[in-house]
Structure 1
Amino acid sequence: MRIDEQIVLVTGGARGLGAAITRAFAREGARVVVNWYRSEDAAARLVAEIGTDRVVAVQGDVTDAESVSALVAAGQERFGGAVTTVVNNALPEFSFNGDAREKADSIGWNAFEAQLRGSVQGMLHTTQAALPGMRSAGFGRIVNVGTNLFQNPVVPYHDYTAAKAAALSLTRTLSSELGPDGITVNMVSGGLLRTTDASAATPEEVFDLIATSTPLRSVTTPDEFADAVLFFAAPWSRAVTGQNLVVDGGLVKD
């Protein structure tokens, strides 16, 4: 299925990386359900920018199964077809500020639980809500947003990285089960992005240091990351599933 034939759900799709992913899909002709949780104004601005013929914004909490089912139903009602593509981008509240990170001797299990709920429980809910429509269509694309901190834990964001590692494991087990239904499940993992709300607290010298460490001598932008997400939704990736694509300017070799 071409991208311009797809109905796409982007969780956390109203701001930061999510907004870049929303714009990328809309640019290619897809219809997009923009899920927002606390970013109502940002969602309204995005709809006004792109247009109501391509985008609908719906409030929802990905950790609540009924709320996620309502997101999928809203997309079907608004655009007249099943949600065929899901991008699990929603991020529990988190700031990429290495100086303020909780270290091994102080971090509590509640921090892990919050990240696991957002990354793993959220992915499970969106998958379960979208599966009937995907199976009916004989087509589905699930793209999960990960991190290169698996391979390069330069900053010990213990809770965030552990949750994303669990999400990668679920990505691979889901890909094995859902492949016979014509559904692919992949992950796109970035490093620090320049710049999102989550990375706004990062000092400029850290961005510069990362840039000098990459073969491209640059820090990946949200727009560049979003284009990689498009690959996994496009026909060109139809034989690719269960994979983790690192998009960080070549900093990490997976």
Structure 2
Amino acid sequence: MSEERVVLVTGASRGLGREIAKKFGQAGYGVIVNYFKSEEKANEVVAEIGQDKAIAIKADVRDKKQVEAMVEEAISRFGKIDVAVNNALVNFEFNPVTQEKADNITWDKYQEQFEGSVKSALNIVQSVLPSMKENQYGRVINIGTNLFQDPVVPYHQYTTGKAALLGFTRNMAKELGTFGITVNMVSGGLLQTTDASKVTTPEVFQLIADTSALNRVTAPEDVAEMVAFLGSEAARAVTGQNITVDSGLTMN
């Protein structure tokens, strides 16, 4: 297994994370399927990829000690970690009806998303760095959002947390490039459908389809394809970038 590339995908039991893990598995990677609550679904992903290629490990990515224990277990199984995908989404649903407005949203809501986006990414990066530095090779891919370019719905705390994650991405790319490590962000549109978007109203999805260049809503599989590309050797000269996969709803 040590000759093959190995990927860690956080929040990989459901939705986008599940598709990312499966995509890397299809490409022959060893896959660490991280989960926090959905053990049964994580084991289903492992079964789809193959017991010889994948392992499910529970860890709250906001907790540094749990992340370190997960990485230690993963390296004991696979020998290294080449790619880390920060995908886990903490306590958020894309519900335009229940989203708190500017006059009543609290700082605690922002803090929760900063920890879910930036703190968790920091925990993962710091925990996988020794392996990546030793091998002078690494790929870190952070999952962002196109909402900070076009806030179709003002999901204040989520969008702000992901915007901060872009700053994190570019600073890490600048520092870690000398070790052969690339750091990028992939920003999908509102994806149809994940657990987080299952409460999104049909009207919002229709608005997105009507206003995107391709007249379609982006699927998790579309984003997974780009993540897999950035995790590959083909993307060796791409770092510090935010690549948007949203069917042309926004354009950089």
Q: TM exceeds 0.5?
A: yes
- The separation in 1 between residues aligned to 2:4 and 2:46, in whole angstroms, is 19
Q: What does 1:220-235 align with in structure 2 at a 5 Å threshold? A: 220-235=218-233
What are structure 2's unaligned runs of at least 5 residues? Answer: none
TM-score of the two chains, using structure 2 as the length reference: 0.97
Q: Separation in 2 of the partners of 1:91 and 1:148?
A: 15
Alpha-carbon separation, structure 2, partners of 1:207 and 1:29? 34
Per-residue deviation at 1:44? Answer: 1.5
Code of the residue aligned with 1:52 in structure 2: it is Q
Cα distance in 2 for residues equivalent to 1:157 and 1:207: 15
State how far apart, in whole Å, the 2-side matches of 1:9 and 1:39 are.
16
Aligned equivalents of 1:204, 1:24: Cα separation in 2: 28
Q: Is 2:104 aligned against 1:106?
A: yes
**Residue 158 (structure 1) aligns with:** 156
State the aligned residue count: 250
Between 130-139 and 66-75, the greater mean CA deviation after superposition: 66-75
Deviations 1:21-41 (A, max 9, x none): 000000100011011001111
**Distance in structure 2 (CA, Å) of the matches to 1:249 and 1:68:** 34
Mapped to 1, the partners of 2:154 and 2:180 lie a distance apart of: 37
Q: Distance in 2 between matches of 1:77 and 1:150?
A: 39
Question: Mapping of 1:72-221 within 5 angstroms?
Answer: 72-79=71-78, 81-221=79-219
Query: How far is 1:183 from its partner?
Result: 0.2
Pair 1:25 & 2:24 matched: yes
Contact 2:22 2:48 in 1 (8 A): no
Measured in 1, the distance between the counterparts of 2:91 and 2:242 equals 23
TM-score relative to the length of structure 1: 0.96
- Following superposition, the deviation at residue 93 of structure 1 comes to 1.0
Alignment root-mean-square deviation, CA: 1.0
Q: Give 1:5 deviation, angstroms.
A: 2.5
Whether 1:51 and 2:50 are equivalent positions in the alignment is yes
Which ranges in structure 1 are unaligned for 5 or more consecutive residues? none
Task: Spell out structure 1 runs of 4+ moving beyond 6 A.
Answer: none
What is the letter of the counterpart of residue 161 of structure 2? Answer: A
SS of 2:97 mapped into structure 1:
helix
**Is 1:7–1:75's contact at 8 Å kept on the other side of the alignment?**
no
SS of the aligned residue for 2:56 comes to strand
Structure 1 residues 26-65: Cα deviation after superposition (integer angstroms, max 9, x where no partner): 0100011011001111111112222111110000011111
In 1, the alpha carbon distance for the partners of 2:244 and 2:226 equals: 9
User: What's 2:61 paired with?
Assistant: 62
Distance in 2, Cα, partners of 1:97 & 1:162: 16
Structure 1 counterpart SS, 2:113: helix
Structure 1 residue 75, shift from structure 2 partner: 1.3
User: Matched residue of 2:243: which SS?
Assistant: strand
Residue number in structure 2 paired with 1:9? 8
Distance, in Å, in 2 between the alignment partners of 1:48 and 1:186 is 29
- How many Å apart are 1:77 and its aligned residue? 1.3
Aligned equivalents of 2:49, 2:84: Cα separation in 1: 19
Give the secondary-structure state (helix, strand or coil) at the position aligned to 1:178: helix
Q: Tell which deviates more after alignment, 22-31 or 211-220.
A: 211-220
Q: Equivalents in 2 of 1:98, 1:247: separation in Å?
A: 22
CA shift, 1:231, in A, is 1.3
Amino acid at match of 1:157: Y
Which is worse superposed, 150-159 or 41-50? Answer: 41-50
- 3-state SS, counterpart of residue 42 of structure 1: helix
